[in-house]
Structure 1
């Protein structure tokens, strides 16, 4: 999450968690763990809680029924059985600083990362900066008493736009509390004594690098990390250590993808026994020429301070693709925040978009927003006809595939003239080319019925999300799908459908050189003043555009 100083407002919070070691005198020393007490969540129900940078996690109960959790920036969280009604255990950001349900007593449990960033320092002056967590269950995590299995809470602390640290904490319950905090990767450090935003010394000796170098896990200092002279961070090359997201690949290996603006998006292998990283150790390059840094890992895209943050990777076993989501643009309501998507057959890339372009790895500075040329744009600013305000800066998403095969995109949105934010969940469906297309309305728990193909022709409210990053809303137009399969109005061309299942059709629209592949289905519109069932279309074009359309189901 890339924020200006004005946008950063943090409150104090905390909680306590202490492990007591008992050593028997005169006998072989042994440890007796304190009995674990999971946090109790006292909740209220909300449909759209104020959760920024939401990361979704699914947990099955004893009967196999899925239960969903989201975790967000400022130590916010919620749970749901249906992805519509959310039980929310907080009323303010950083609630209950002395006994937080997730991270316990911040001053005690986060003492090590706070020495570097995120506590009453620079942009976090007067409070805390705890951002963009992601929770991952690790069955091989090893506790001090020898027991295995933990929920791991990956999170970032930040003091400036480049000085940050990603850490991991562990719990035996997804609801917390999380303890055993271990830093993984730092950013913003220098070779020499220096400062950044405060009087705090940012020399690399204050990070985990000296221990890693001494143990041989990292080969040594790299001059690439700093500008010439060794007293300023090289943000063109090296990442900002925030926005972690963790996933497991097809072979059972665990990875953490992370980064925001600065040197781009990187990834590291995760050690399942500790939740911390396997570092490359030496610099090298991927087969396609991307950076592999001895400490930061493999670069996926970005660099030279082009916008791009909130990375998330979803692996789909059905089609064996890894889907990479990145949000570009500025995060306030005027910043044009929007989600881009790529895919790969390998967890570490290269990732390509619908145009066949590899995700860009920049090699020089430029003042232009060249990143708008890459990635399928799947969100944007738009206003529904029956709403008083627009959706703005929809981004920093996570994604999930449920046990019944449904795909969902989870993100936060802002609104016209308003930097407040809310959680949104949209269903996605796979098109014929195995790209997930984002449906236009927020998900509801209403079950669609069969859709007769003779209902599909007609006039649709129409949006083309385009490829640009802009503060303006995308244009709202109308198109008509005629019975003789012509497209007229705001887009011209030809359309055809073929059955996907009893409730959905694959859709193809050809307009000039652009071919859009997507779906036609039904959704219940609960967002406009007049709610009701709609026939909706969503498709991705071979020039990275997403199109939406909808009309009343009669």
Structure 2
């Protein structure tokens, strides 16, 4: 069993009762696709005390649980503008993208916890789990920077409460018999159905102990088994354990956060992972180092780093990502964590990222936040272009910047004469070979990465990203920022104003069928094979019908309709594809000099597509995504 509740699988059987119904389905049934994310403002001082508008703001130490079709997020009491209201913040979502404020789980800090910690009035790092028919909400209260800490638990028959405090699970204080710190509880269900708690932070490290499935409390006295620690040379800085069991790998994975979560002058929080065949360890990183190894120098070599501060070009970066939780939702996996904006690191935000798995069973985190993407089969046409690359150097836990890498259609990297090259294997495995004779194993460093579609948060458009590891266990990220038009490749054309796709109405195949916008569904009526003509222009042929994108009647006036028509090689079916400075494209019909345009700047499904004289509006800008 997994700690988090998995989504149910449903099988949808569609019966096509008529040609009309079949055609309508082409435009109306959508698979999960990239969505334009909500425009939640950064550093929103206007709503600094308006909790209902916080959405993803003030999220720290998130914990998630899916109940039915709703995701509930519990997090630390935090308020960038002043004293936080004690009680555990709750938010909810139905898509992991749009979040709404719910309120507080508890009415203040429970009395026993407050008394033990000398009057601390804030609850940190909650955990939520269901054992049998009862929900257990774990909370911790700690005098910051000390071992004076208390883990308690409250129970309810409903995910939304009300919650009844059941008191102490474990508590610590200087001078007791323990080395552990009673903070950051995490519950995992092992492969036999037994619940365990991992917990701990600075001082003694991370421990794990068996729970009583009826009470939710420790099954035996003592602090449990040590599973992760760091040396005094790095201030013993490890915390926020999160353990999952991946049944397909038959292994347990321990995620921890290194360094300081909250020192805004030296923000180096980052996420590391090790794995084990046993829930009590030992947990080993990619290079076989035990997560309890405190003698290896430098200590940054212990733990496979998969997330840290970063910044892509053209926007502020993110600092201190960490205190993650992992959600398995059906066959999809997500990492949920907090991070701090570069412009003002006092502000914390919720991040949700798609998590993939390497062929040899290591978790990989997307370099961009989640907006609905799925891992699906791609083609080698996706690869060629310019990418921003980030190497998550284990020795650098600050913000890591990007550098550009050009992947040529020929399979070379950089230039045609280079010894560096790439290979691609469907559904999405890219290997980058970097020639380093005498230094790398077999003279090549090899970055093995997984590619997926994603939303480019820095430039506000869809793109492709990759994430993976090289032979040394160093995480590699990439984001595609531009690409040549490949003759013969198939593309989606996504309009910048609406982020909807160029679509053949009702999946039609007849001459004169109208072309429109429709929500991205990855079906054949939204696919266009782009082929260069001998004069340097392009024709766009819809593979569903074999017919070309055409200006009706060869018209040249503003508002002339765009349709599909049998390929005839005439100028009405020719398009110049012009790259714009922001990485988008305009499609210009050479017969009229006018561009592919969404009528009246429409953004709704079914908005008509026409030609119009060039202007600066997004209705004339398109992103070409190779398939």
The two structures have a TM-score, normalised by structure 2, of: 0.61
- For 1:495 and 1:360, the matched residues in 2 are separated by 37
Taking only aligned residues, the RMSD between alpha carbons, in angstroms, comes to: 2.4
User: Which whole-Å deviations, capped at 9, do the CAs of 1:400-423 have from their partners, x for residues lacking one?
Assistant: 1112x1110100000224211000
Within the candidate set 145, 152, 157, 2:136 is matched to 152
1:411-430 matched pairs, under 5 angstroms? 411-416=337-342, 417-430=344-357
Shift of 1:440: 1.0
Is the 1:301–1:362 contact (alpha carbons within 8 Å) kept by the matching residues of 2?
A: no
- For 1:516 and 1:188, the matched residues in 2 are separated by 46
1:440 is paired with a residue whose SS is coil
User: Which whole-Å deviations, capped at 9, do the CAs of 1:219-262 have from their partners, x for residues lacking one?
Assistant: xxx5xx4xxxxxxxxxxxx1211000101010001011111111
Q: Does 2:382 match 1:382?
A: no
Shift of 1:386: 3.1
Classify 1:448/1:45 alpha carbon distance in 2 versus 1 (closer, same or farther; 3 Å).
farther
Shift of 1:480: 2.0
1:462-473 matched pairs, under 5 angstroms? 462-471=389-398, 473=399
Partner of 1:536: 465
- For 1:544 and 1:43, the matched residues in 2 are separated by 41
Q: How many residues align?
A: 407
User: Which whole-Å deviations, capped at 9, do the CAs of 1:295-324 have from their partners, x for residues lacking one?
Assistant: 110000105541111110111222222111
- For 2:478 and 2:320, the matched residues in 1 are separated by 20
Is the 2:312–2:401 contact (alpha carbons within 8 Å) kept by the matching residues of 1?
A: no
Is the 2:245–2:252 contact (alpha carbons within 8 Å) kept by the matching residues of 1?
A: yes
Within the candidate set 156, 174, 180, 2:165 is matched to 180
Is the 1:518–1:540 contact (alpha carbons within 8 Å) kept by the matching residues of 2?
A: yes
Q: Does 2:75 match 1:72?
A: yes
Shift of 1:431: 1.7
- For 2:338 and 2:479, the matched residues in 1 are separated by 23
Q: Which runs of 5+ in 2 are unaligned?
A: 1-49, 78-87, 435-439, 482-623
2:225 is paired with a residue whose SS is strand
Within the candidate set 507, 510, 524, 2:455 is matched to 524
User: Which whole-Å deviations, capped at 9, do the CAs of 1:182-207 have from their partners, x for residues lacking one?
Assistant: 212211242xxxxxxxxxxxxx5xxx
- For 1:131 and 1:524, the matched residues in 2 are separated by 31
Partner of 1:330: 260
Is the 1:540–1:546 contact (alpha carbons within 8 Å) kept by the matching residues of 2?
A: yes
Is the 2:378–2:426 contact (alpha carbons within 8 Å) kept by the matching residues of 1?
A: no
Q: Which runs of 5+ in 1 are unaligned?
A: 1-41, 61-65, 91-100, 140-148, 191-203, 205-221, 226-237, 282-294
Classify 1:105/1:373 alpha carbon distance in 2 versus 1 (closer, same or farther; 3 Å).
closer
Partner of 2:113: 113
Q: Does 2:66 match 1:58?
A: yes
Is the 2:55–2:101 contact (alpha carbons within 8 Å) kept by the matching residues of 1?
A: no
2:216 is paired with a residue whose SS is coil
Shift of 1:384: 2.3
Within the candidate set 170, 176, 200, 2:155 is matched to 170
1:487 is paired with a residue whose SS is coil
Classify 1:187/1:370 alpha carbon distance in 2 versus 1 (closer, same or farther; 3 Å).
farther
Shift of 1:138: 0.7
- For 1:447 and 1:538, the matched residues in 2 are separated by 14
Classify 1:447/1:340 alpha carbon distance in 2 versus 1 (closer, same or farther; 3 Å).
closer
User: Which whole-Å deviations, capped at 9, do the CAs of 1:69-107 have from their partners, x for residues lacking one?
Assistant: 1111111121111000112124xxxxxxxxxx412354x
Classify 1:450/1:105 alpha carbon distance in 2 versus 1 (closer, same or farther; 3 Å).
closer
- For 1:80 and 1:369, the matched residues in 2 are separated by 43
Shift of 1:362: 3.0
- For 1:356 and 1:494, the matched residues in 2 are separated by 29
1:427-442 matched pairs, under 5 angstroms? 427-442=354-369
Classify 1:47/1:261 alpha carbon distance in 2 versus 1 (closer, same or farther; 3 Å).
same
Compare CA radii of gyration and give the structure with the larger one: 2
Classify 1:169/1:329 alpha carbon distance in 2 versus 1 (closer, same or farther; 3 Å).
same
The two structures have a TM-score, normalised by structure 1, of: 0.69
Is the 1:377–1:467 contact (alpha carbons within 8 Å) kept by the matching residues of 2?
A: yes
Within the candidate set 210, 214, 227, 1:300 is matched to 227
Shift of 1:516: 2.9
User: Which whole-Å deviations, capped at 9, do the CAs of 1:325-369 have from their partners, x for residues lacking one?
Assistant: 111111134321111111112111111111122213437xxxx98
- For 1:274 and 1:522, the matched residues in 2 are separated by 44
